C-alpha cells in the first residue's frame, strides 16, 4: 500500500532532501504517484515516480520539517490532484494517509454543507477539512486532530502537519502501520522503518488506535481518547533491505504472511453479514444489467486464471449462472459467441497483462458487459472495463502471485453472493440463509489463515524433505481441482521442477502411469463432499508405491495412516476451502525453492507484469 514519511528536526538538515531520500527507500512498496510538503515551500505532487517529483521541485524548495507520500491509488485515479499531501480549504492543515476512510462520503457531504470545497476524488481529503473545522473552534491543533480522528471510520496510517506549528507533526494508526524514529534533535514518522534507518535505529511502533506527536526534541503517544501511552523504544538491527521485507527473508514470504489482512481488506465495508447481502460500490452502475446476464466468461492469466476456475464452481453452484473460464491468450484469438447478456470478467492483479486487456477489448467488440476484478487501481483493465471490484490487496512485489490470488478469491465470493442474491433461490439464486452462512464463514477466514501460517515450520520441514525430487503431481477434486493447478504452478514458477496439477479422478486416465517410488503426489483431500473419492484415488497411488503428502482437514485421524506426510488446515465451507488450502501450498513452494537456493522473489524467465504477448 501507500508509503508515508515525515520529518522534523533542528539540526539544519534540509527536510526536502531527507523526505525525498525517504520516499526512495519506500519505493519498493509499489506506488503510482508521489508528493511532498514543507510549511516553508508548500506542496509539490506528481503522478509517476519520485524522480519526477525531484525534477518538479525548484532549487529553492526548503524546510525544516515536512511530510511526504507515495500513493497506491484506491479512491480516484493516480493523477496529480489525487496525489497526497492533501490540504484543508485554508491551506493550513496538510495530511498524508495510507488506508481507506470508509465513511468519507458522509463526512464530505456534511463538510460541503458547512461550506468546504474539495479538489480531489480522494477519500483522504476529508481529513484536513475535518481538522480545520475543529481547529476553528478549539484553537488547539492536537485536540482538533483527535476530534477529527474520532469521526473517521476505516483504516489509516497518517501524518498531519499544521502550518501554524510547523515543527510539530501528528501521526495516528488504525490498521495501517506507523513507526516513529527517535533521533538526536530530529524525529520521524514512517510506514515502515526503511526510510528511518539511515538516521536512527531507535524506533517505536504505534498500535491501532494510537496517536503520536513528534517535535525535533521528542515524542509522546496517547490513545484516541487522549489517555497517555508509555511505550519503550526498540533498537532495530535490520538493514534497509530487511526493513522493506518487514523482517522476512523474501517478499514472497512477507506477502503470504499478509493473507489474513488481505482477506479483511477485500471484505472491508462490503459484507453486510446480518442481512446476507454484499455491497459492491464498483458494480452499482451496472446492477440492472447484471441482474439480467445469462452467462459469464472469465478471462485471465497465470494464478488469476486459477482464481477464475475456482470462481466458476462458486458462481455456478450459488448464483446459478453458466460460467466458462479461459486463458486470455486463447480467448482473444478465437471467435467466441457473446451477446449483451454475457458478462466478461477479467481477473488481473496488475490490471496491465496484455493478453487479459486484449481479451477485454475483444469482449467489448462482441457486445459483452465487461467487468474487472483488479488489484491495481486506475490500471488499464480497471479503466477499460464497464465496472468492477477492486481487491485492495496492496502492491505485490514478488513475481509469483500469492496474496493477490487470495484476494481475488475473496472478491469472487463477494461477487457470487451479489449475483446469487439478485436471483431467486428457485432459479439458481441464493437464499438469504445461505448468504448469511457464507458471510459468517468468510468472517472466520482471517483467523483460520493465521492458524495455518502459524504452522509454517511444519510445512518447511516437509518441503525440505522433498526438495530433492524432480517431479511432483498435485491432485484435487471439485473446488480443490483448480487448487491442485495452483500448487503445481507455484512450484514450477519458483523451483523450476516439473510439476503438474490434475483432477484426482483423472489420474487413472494417464498420469498414474508415471507414479513410482520417486514420483511424489501432493493430494488436497479435505473432508468435503468428494472426500471418499479422493481417498480412493490416494489408495491407487499408494498401491504403485508413490509417496503422498496429504493436505487434510484438522481432526481427520484416518488420512495419516494412508499417506507419508500430512498437513492440516481448519475446516470451513466447501466453497471457501480453496482460500485456506492455497496458503500451505504457497508456503510449500516457497520453502522448497528456498531449500534449493533459488531466487524466490525473482524467478528466472518470468516477469511480474506481462505487458507483451
Q: How far is the CB of 159 from ligand G6P (least distance, A)?
A: 31
Which range in 97-105, 299-307, 313-321, 582-590 contacts ligand G6P by CB under 6 A?
A: 299-307
Catalytic residue among 163, 364, 443, 608: 608
Is residue 412 involved in binding ligand G6P (CB under 6 A)? no
Is residue 353 involved in binding ligand G6P (CB under 6 A)? yes
Residue nearest to ligand G6P (CB): 302
Residue with cell 524467465: 605
Beta bridge partners of 156: 99, 175
Query: Mapping DSSP to helix (H, G, I), strand (E, B) and coil, where does residue 298 land?
Result: strand
The residue among 383 and 508 lying less far from ligand G6P, judged by its C-beta, is: 383
Residue of 177, 302, 372, 503 that binds ligand G6P (CB under 6 A): 302
Q: Which helix (H) or strand (E) holds 473?
A: strand 471-476
CA 46 remoteness from chain centre: 24
Is residue 304 involved in binding ligand G6P (CB under 6 A)? yes
Q: Determine contact, residues 542/563, Cβ cutoff 8 Å.
A: yes
Residue with cell 446476507: 276
Query: Mapping DSSP to helix (H, G, I), strand (E, B) and coil, where does residue 556 land?
Result: coil
Q: How far is the CB of 532 from ligand G6P (least distance, A)?
A: 33
Q: What is the dihedral of CA 102, 105, 107, 110, to 10 degrees?
A: -170
Q: How far is the CB of 375 from ligand G6P (least distance, A)?
A: 7
Is the peptide bond preceding residue 385 cis, with omega within 30 degrees of 0?
no
How many CB atoms neighbour CB 427 within 10 A? 7
CA 234 to CA 240: how far, in whole Å?
16
Contact partners, residue 193, CB within 8 Å, separation at least 6 = 179, 181, 203, 236, 238, 243
Residue 415 grid coordinates = 461477487
Instruction: Give me the DSSP letters along 361-428.
Output: HHHHHTT-EEEEEESSTT-HHHHHSSEEEE-------SSS-SHHHHHHHHHHHHHHHHHHHHS-GGGT
Is residue 122 involved in binding ligand G6P (CB under 6 A)? no
Size of the site for ligand G6P (CB under 6 A): 15
Q: How far is the CB of 493 from ligand G6P (least distance, A)?
A: 7
Q: How far is the CB of 200 from ligand G6P (least distance, A)?
A: 37
CA 43 to CA 123: how far, in whole Å?
19
CA 56 to CA 42: how far, in whole Å?
13
- For the window 583-612, what string marks contact with ligand G6P as x by the rule CB under 6 A? -----------------------x--xx--
Is residue 424 involved in binding ligand G6P (CB under 6 A)? no
Residue of 43, 200, 350, 495 that binds ligand G6P (CB under 6 A): 350
Task: Examine the residue annotation and report whether 364 is marked as an active-site residue of this protein.
Answer: no
The residue among 196 and 400 lying less far from ligand G6P, judged by its C-beta, is: 400
Q: How far is the CB of 347 from ligand G6P (least distance, A)?
A: 7
Q: Determine contact, residues 512/543, Cβ cutoff 8 Å.
A: no
Which range in 142-150, 241-249, 342-350, 545-553 contacts ligand G6P by CB under 6 A?
A: 342-350
Q: How far is the CB of 406 from ligand G6P (least distance, A)?
A: 12
Q: How far is the CB of 46 from ligand G6P (least distance, A)?
A: 24
Instruction: Give the Å distances, CA to CA, from 186 to 3, 13, 167, 181, 608.
Output: 20, 9, 10, 8, 38
CA 238 to CA 245: how far, in whole Å?
10
Which range in 64-72, 140-148, 296-304, 548-556 contacts ligand G6P by CB under 6 A?
A: 296-304
The residue among 353 and 495 lying less far from ligand G6P, judged by its C-beta, is: 353
Residue of 98, 122, 303, 495 that binds ligand G6P (CB under 6 A): 303
Estimate the crossing angle of helix 577-595 against helix 481-495, to 10 degrees.
20
The residue among 349 and 553 lying less far from ligand G6P, judged by its C-beta, is: 349
Residue 608 grid coordinates = 511480474
Residue of 135, 283, 301, 538 that binds ligand G6P (CB under 6 A): 301
Which range in 20-28, 111-119, 186-194, 348-356 contacts ligand G6P by CB under 6 A?
A: 348-356
- For the window 377-406, what string marks contact with ligand G6P as x by the rule CB under 6 A? ----------------------xxx-----
Q: How far is the CB of 610 from ligand G6P (least distance, A)?
A: 5
Which range in 12-20, 181-189, 211-219, 302-310 contacts ligand G6P by CB under 6 A?
A: 302-310
The residue among 216 and 603 lying less far from ligand G6P, judged by its C-beta, is: 603
224: buried, middle or exposed (CB in 10 Å: 19+, 13-18, 0-12)?
Answer: middle
Task: Examine the residue annotation and report whether 279 is marked as an active-site residue of this protein.
Answer: no
The residue among 215 and 609 lying less far from ligand G6P, judged by its C-beta, is: 609
The residue among 97 and 490 lying less far from ligand G6P, judged by its C-beta, is: 490
Query: Mapping DSSP to helix (H, G, I), strand (E, B) and coil, where does residue 293 land?
Result: coil
Catalytic residue among 2, 108, 168, 245: 2
Residue with cell 497517555: 228
Q: What are phi and psi for residue 577, nearest 5 degrees?
A: -55, -40
Residue of 356, 571, 581, 586 that binds ligand G6P (CB under 6 A): 356
CA 438 to CA 298: how far, in whole Å?
22
Which range in 46-54, 146-154, 349-357, 505-513 contacts ligand G6P by CB under 6 A?
A: 349-357
CA 367 to CA 281: how far, in whole Å?
23
Beta bridge partners of 325: 298
> Using CB under 6 A as the criterion, which residues of the chain lie in contact with ligand G6P when the complex forms?
301-304, 348-350, 353, 356, 399-401, 606, 609-610
Which residues are tagged catalytic?
2, 608
Amino acid at each position: 500500500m501507500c508509503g508515508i514519511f515525515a520529518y522534523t528536526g533542528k539540526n539544519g538538515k534540509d527536510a526536502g532532501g531527507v523526505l525525498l531520500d525517504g520516499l526512495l527507500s519506500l519505493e519498493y512498496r509499489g506506488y503510482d504517484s508521489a508528493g511532498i510538503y514543507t510549511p516553508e515551500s508548500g506542496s509539490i505532487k506528481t503522478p509517476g515516480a519520485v524522480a519526477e517529483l525531484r525534477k518538479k521541485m525548484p532549487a529553492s524548495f526548503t524546510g525544516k520539517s515536512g511530510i511526504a507520500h507515495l500513493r497506491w491509488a484506491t479512491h480516484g485515479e493516480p493523477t496529480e490532484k489525487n496525489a497526497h499531501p492533501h490540504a484543508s480549504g485554508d491551506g493550513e492543515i496538510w495530511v498524508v494517509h495510507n488506508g481507506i476512510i470508509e465513511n468519507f462520503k458522509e463526512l464530505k457531504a456534511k463538510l460541503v454543507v458547512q461550506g468546504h470545497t474539495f479538489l480531489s476524488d480522494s477519500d483522504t481529503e476529508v481529513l484536513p477539512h475535518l481538522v480545520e473545522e475543529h481547529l476553528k473552534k478549539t484553537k488547539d491543533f492536537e485536540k482538533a486532530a483527535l476530534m477529527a480522528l474520532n469521526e473517521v471510520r476505516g483504516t489509516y496510517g497518517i501524518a498531519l502537519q499544521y502550518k501554524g506549528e510547523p515543527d510539530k507533526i501528528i501521526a495516528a494508526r488504525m490498521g495501517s502501520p506507523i513507526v516513529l524514529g527517535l533521533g538526536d534533535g530530529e524525529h520521524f514518522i514512517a510506514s515502515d522503518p526503511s526510510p528511518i534507518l539511515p538516521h536512527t535505529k531507535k524506533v517505536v511502533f504505534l498500535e491501532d488506535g494510537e496517536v503520536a506527536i513528534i517535535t525535533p526534541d521528542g515524542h509522546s503517544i496517547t490513545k484516541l481518547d487522549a489517555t497517555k501511552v508509555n511505550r519503550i523504544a526498540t533498537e532495530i538491527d535490520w538493514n534497509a533491505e530487511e526493513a522493506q521485507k518487514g523482517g522476512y527473508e523474501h517478499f514472497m514470504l512477507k506477502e503470504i504472511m499478509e493473507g489474513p489482512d488481505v482477506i479483511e481488506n477485500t471484505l472491508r465495508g462490503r459484507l453486510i453479514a446480518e442481512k446476507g447481502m454484499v455491497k459492491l460500490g464498483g458494480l452499482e452502475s451496472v446492477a440492472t444489467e447484471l441482474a439480467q446476464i445469462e452467462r459469464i466468461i472469465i478471462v485471465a492469466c497465470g494464478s488469476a486464471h486459477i482464481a477464475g476456475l475456482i470462481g466458476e464452481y462458486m458462481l455456478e453452484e450459488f448464483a446459478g449462472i453458466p460460467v466458462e473460464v479461459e486463458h486470455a491468450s486463447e480467448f482473444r484469438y478465437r471467435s467466441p459467441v457473446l451477446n449483451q447478456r454475457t458478462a466478461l470478467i477479467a481477473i488481473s492483479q496488475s490490471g496491465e497483462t496484455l493478453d487479459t486487456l486484449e481479451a477485454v477489448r475483444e469482449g467489448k467488440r462482441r457486445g459483452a458487459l465487461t467487468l474487472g476484478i483488479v488489484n491495481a487501481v486506475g490500471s488499464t483493465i480497471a479503466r477499460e472495463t464497464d465496472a468492477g471490484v477492486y481487491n485492495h490487496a496492496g502492491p505485490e512485489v514478488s513475481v509469483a502471485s500469492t496474496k493477490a490470488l487470495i484476494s481475488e478469491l475473496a472478491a469472487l465470493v463477494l461477487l457470487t453472493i451479489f449475483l446469487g442474491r439478485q436471483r431467486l433461490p428457485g432459479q439458481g439464486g441464493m437464499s438469504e440463509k445461505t448468504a448469511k452462512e457464507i458471510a459468517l464463514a468468510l468472517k472466520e477466514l482471517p483467523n483460520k489463515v493465521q492458524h495455518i501460517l502459524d504452522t509454517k515450520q511444519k510445512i518447511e520441514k516437509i518441503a525440505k524433505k522433498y526438495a530433492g525430487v524432480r517431479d511432483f503431481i498435485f491432485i484435487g477434486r471439485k473446488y480443490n481441482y483448480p487448487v491442485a493447478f495452483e500448487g503445481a504452478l507455484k512450484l514450477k514458477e519458483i523451483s523450476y521442477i516439473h510439476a503438474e496439477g490434475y483432477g484426482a479422478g483423472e489420474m487413472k486416465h494417464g498420469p498414474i502411469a508415471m507414479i513410482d517410488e520417486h514420483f511424489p503426489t501432493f493430494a488436497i483431500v479435505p473432508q468435503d463432499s468428494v472426500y471418499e473419492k479422493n481417498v480412493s484415488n490416494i489408495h491407487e497411488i499408494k498401491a504403485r508405491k508413490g509417496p503422498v503428502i496429504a493436505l487434510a482437514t484438522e481432526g481427520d485421524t484416518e488420512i495419516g495412516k494412508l499417506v507419508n506426510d500430512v498437513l492440516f488446515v481448519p475446516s470451513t465451507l466447501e466453497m471457501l476451502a480453496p482460500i485456506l488450502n492455497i496458503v500451505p501450498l504457497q508456503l510449500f513452494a516457497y520453502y522448497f525453492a528456498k531449500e534449493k537456493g533459488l531466487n524466490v522473489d525473482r524467478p528466472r524467465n518470468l516477469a511480474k507484469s506481462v505487458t507483451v504477448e
